[in-house]
Amino acid sequence: MNQFKLKFQLFNAAEKLITVLVLFYLVSSVISVLFQFNAVAFLELDRDLGRLIYKPWTLITYALVHQGIFHILFNMLWLHFSSRLFLNLFDDKRFYALFSIGVLVGAVFFLIAYNTFPALTSRNAMLVGSSAGVTAVLIFMCVYAPQTGLRFFTFNFKLWQLGVFFVVLDLMQLGSGINIGGHLAHLGGALSGYLLAYRIKNTSDDLMRFSDFWIKVFEPLRAVFSPKKTSFKKVYKNKNKTADRTVANQQEKLDAILDKISKSGYEALSADEKDFLFQQSKK
């Protein structure tokens, strides 16, 4: 368990998010089969605004839920691809902010459409999946670095062309009547990614402002639920105090390094810190 925790700390933001989403999908699937308990019902986003009042968290938690193996598989593959482009240029905080904004705007598009358009107001619909957040990251990069070259087998194309393809595909599929809510959420995510990329290219860093705002909001909760760290101590019979101090010092150093990773990322570590972390991971 300690090794998993250490390796998880070394993941970048996208790898952590993918790990959480996959684990949640597996655990919720097992619970549903073994206990016949539908945990998804507490997390999916309902088009009914009256129900939303009692479950406001679903504006975000719907992104945790996926309908099947292929749904989560394709979302995670696209998230991995687009996040690699994003994290080469931006930090983890901005990644989480962009993904979250995409999820929120996707939810808003879904709710507005199903409570406004006559063709949809009579339908019951639920929204699940992280597609809106994934689309936000992808379209952000298509706007921020549109001339980035890509290759698929023998085909060469630009990143902006990939973005246009996905947006047009979603617009076309709206007319099919299948998964309308999902495609609306995609378009909401795409719009948020486009606008945020446009603004950050014009020196307006909305992503960092969004991140800083939520950090301030949750700071009191973090103080309550994060106990003060104490030095790790082991008691050995018939051993000298030097050994105890060595173990405690190593634990303190490890805690400090993990804190540094959570705040600034793995790349912020010095060569000595990276070597120390590698040695600890082998224990």
Written as one string, the DSSP assignment of 100-131 is HHHHHHHHHHHHHHHTT-HHHHTS--EE-SSH
Q: Range(s) for CATH 1.20.1540.10 in the chain? A: 2-217
The pair of three-digit structure tokens given for residue 46, joined into one six-digit string: 């309902």
**The pLDDT of residue 68:** 87
Question: Nearest-5° angle of CA 38, CA 39, CA 45?
Answer: 105
Per the model's pLDDT, the better-predicted residue between 7 and 67 turns out to be: 67
| pLDDT tens-digit series, residues 46-72 | 998 888 999 999 999 999 999 889 999
**The pLDDT of residue 77:** 95
User: Could you give the dihedral angle defined by the CA atoms of residues 153, 71, 43 and 5, in that order, rounded to the nearest 10 degrees?
Assistant: -60
Across the chain, mean pLDDT equals 83
Position of tokens 């603004």?
199
Per the model's pLDDT, the better-predicted residue between 72 and 232 turns out to be: 72
Position of tokens 């009914």?
48
Helix residue ranges, H only, the chain: 2-10, 13-35, 49-54, 58-61, 69-87, 92-114, 118-121, 131-144, 159-174, 180-201, 206-225, 241-264, 271-281
In the 8-state DSSP scheme, what is residue 250? H
Res 75 pLDDT > 60: yes
Res 195 pLDDT > 80: yes
| pLDDT tens-digit series, residues 26-51 | 998 888 888 777 778 889 999 988 88
The whole-number average pLDDT for the span 109-133 is: 87
For the entire predicted model, the pTM comes to 0.76
In angstroms, the CA 199 to CA 132 distance is 19
Res 80 pLDDT > 80: yes
**The pLDDT of residue 263:** 65
In angstroms, the CA 133 to CA 130 distance is 6
The whole-number average pLDDT for the span 192-220 is: 83
Instruction: Identify the band that residue 224 occupies on the pLDDT scale cut at 50, 70 and 90.
Output: low
**The pLDDT of residue 153:** 81
In angstroms, the CA 100 to CA 108 distance is 12
Q: Which residues, other chains included, contact 49 with Cβ-Cβ below 8 Å and sequence gap of 6+?
A: 111, 115
**The pLDDT of residue 281:** 64
Helix (H) or strand (E) holding 158: strand 155-158
Pick the CATH number of 2-217 from 1.20.1540.10, 1.10.10.60, 3.40.190.170, 3.30.390.50: 1.20.1540.10
In angstroms, the CA 164 to CA 168 distance is 6
